[in-house]
């Protein structure tokens, strides 16, 4: 019997279905395309992918981690993020859907006193920042939300390890999930599956997306798409470019983490090593800081909303949208291109900064 192909190896990885039972929709953004006057722009709507508390790319990733947690007999999902973390909201939702408990560590990743060149957060907004948006939904779903005074970082955090030990000390069976589900052996699988959907959808639409644009912070969404492109390269298919738009303000750490996750996933599937050139991270649009918008981010949020009722946020998608707009307008993405923007979700965070409207 011959060894399984990389695709067969991937398809054999257990997954618990938590998304809607069909590929996420690909939408042609005709008005935005006309507004920018360049490449034809499409969007894959991962923000609309699940019935669980708003969905998003984090639910897509957690399908694989949830299957693993259940197989291990865990009774509590334990994870970490910022106060307005989409990921911890998704972890709590997935725990509810799987009949598990959720403990989420919420660190102060966004400097509420501001950062040079960003849109100020008012005193009123500061007072409700830890009460609205994603963290409100986590509490509504019955999550055990624990606030910790620690700053932004995409690496493994000690506060997560502490929470895991606390659950163990009380007789629980925790399953640890790092920030964004990224530094986990299965973290890139969700967006790799999304990539494989794109291949089939292209045939139905009669289009080839030569460029894919995605936001990148903890790295596994970006990495999953990089692995998808590497898989196609391995199979001798037409090449395409994956561009990550940094939203971390710590682009060196993010690039290294994307490369590590993509490389680990490629090795797991039996693919050749990921080359440095395959991880493209554009750091021009991150506002210099995680979680806060500058004028370019705000402009992009408004353009997307005014042209397509396409809602993006100040933490993630507003920055990747700013990157997309600039790359199209400057012709860095040629006007002949069909570019696919991956909408990862994140809209709930808008509620925490009302001055962006």
| Active site positions, annotated | 85
Cβ contact 294:302 at 8 Å: no
Among 156, 213, 196, which residue's Cα sits nearest to residue 344?
213
Q: What tokens were used for 88?
A: 């911890």
Q: What tokens were used for 53?
A: 């508390």
Cβ contact 177:164 at 8 Å: no
Which residues of 140-210 form beta strands (DSSP E)?
144-148, 174-177
Q: What tokens were used for 130?
A: 């830890």
Q: Which residues pair with 44 in a beta bridge?
A: 26, 342
Burial class of residue 273 in the structure, from the number of CB atoms within 10 Å of its CB (0-12 exposed, 13-18 middle, 19+ buried): exposed
Compute CA distances 79 → 175, 208, 253, whole Å.
8, 37, 20
Q: How far apart are CA 294 and CA 111, in angstroms?
A: 14
Cβ contact 190:60 at 8 Å: yes
H/E stretch holding 199 reads helix 189-205
Among 241, 249, 270, 244, which residue's Cα sits nearest to residue 259?
244
Helix axes 86-98, 57-71, angle to 10 degrees: 40
Cβ contact 183:156 at 8 Å: yes
Q: How far apart are CA 325 and CA 316, in angstroms?
A: 15
Place of tokens 């939702």: 93
Burial class of residue 110 in the structure, from the number of CB atoms within 10 Å of its CB (0-12 exposed, 13-18 middle, 19+ buried): buried
Can you tell me whether residue 144 is helix, strand or coil? strand
């Amino acid at each position: 019997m011959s060894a399984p192909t990389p695709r067969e190896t991937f398809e054999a990885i257990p997954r618990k279905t938590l998304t809607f039972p069909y590929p996420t929709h690909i939408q042609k953004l005709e008005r935005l395309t006309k507004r920018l006057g360049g490449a034809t722009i499409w969007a894959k709507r991962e923000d609309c992918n699940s019935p669980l508390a708003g969905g998003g790319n984090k639910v897509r990733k957690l399908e694989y981690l949830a299957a693993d947690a259940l197989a291990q007999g865990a009774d509590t999902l334990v994870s970490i993020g910022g106060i307005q973390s989409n990921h911890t909201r998704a972890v709590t939702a997935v725990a509810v859907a799987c009949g598990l408990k959720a403990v989420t560590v919420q660190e102060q990743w966004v400097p509420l006193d501001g950062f040079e060149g960003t849109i100020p957060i008012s005193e009123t907004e500061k007072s409700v920042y830890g009460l609205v948006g994603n963290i409100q939904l986590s509490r509504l779903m019955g999550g055990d939300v624990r606030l910790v005074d620690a700053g932004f970082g995409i690496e493994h955090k000690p506060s997560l390890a502490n929470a895991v030990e606390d659950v163990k000390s009380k007789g629980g069976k925790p399953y640890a999930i790092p920030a964004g589900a990224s530094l986990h052996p299965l973290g890139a699988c969700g967006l790799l599956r999304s990539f494989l959907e794109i291949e089939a959808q292209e045939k139905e639409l009669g289009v080839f997306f030569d460029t894919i644009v995605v936001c990148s912070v903890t790295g596994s969404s970006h990495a999953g798409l990089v692995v998808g492109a590497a898989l196609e390269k391995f199979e001798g298919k037409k090449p395409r470019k994956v561009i990550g738009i940094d939203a971390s303000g710590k682009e060196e750490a993010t690039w290294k983490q994307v490369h590590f996750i993509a490389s680990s996933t490629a090795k797991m599937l039996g693919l050749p090593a990921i080359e440095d050139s395959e991880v493209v991270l554009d750091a021009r649009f991150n506002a210099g800081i995680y979680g806060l918008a500058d004028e370019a981010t705000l402009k992009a949020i408004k353009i997307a909303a005014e042209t397509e009722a396409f809602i993006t946020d100040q933490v993630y998608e507003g920055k990747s949208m700013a990157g997309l707009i600039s790359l199209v307008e400057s012709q860095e993405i040629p006007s002949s291109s069909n570019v696919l923007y991956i909408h990862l979700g994140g809209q709930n965070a808008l509620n925490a900064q009302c001055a962006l409207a």
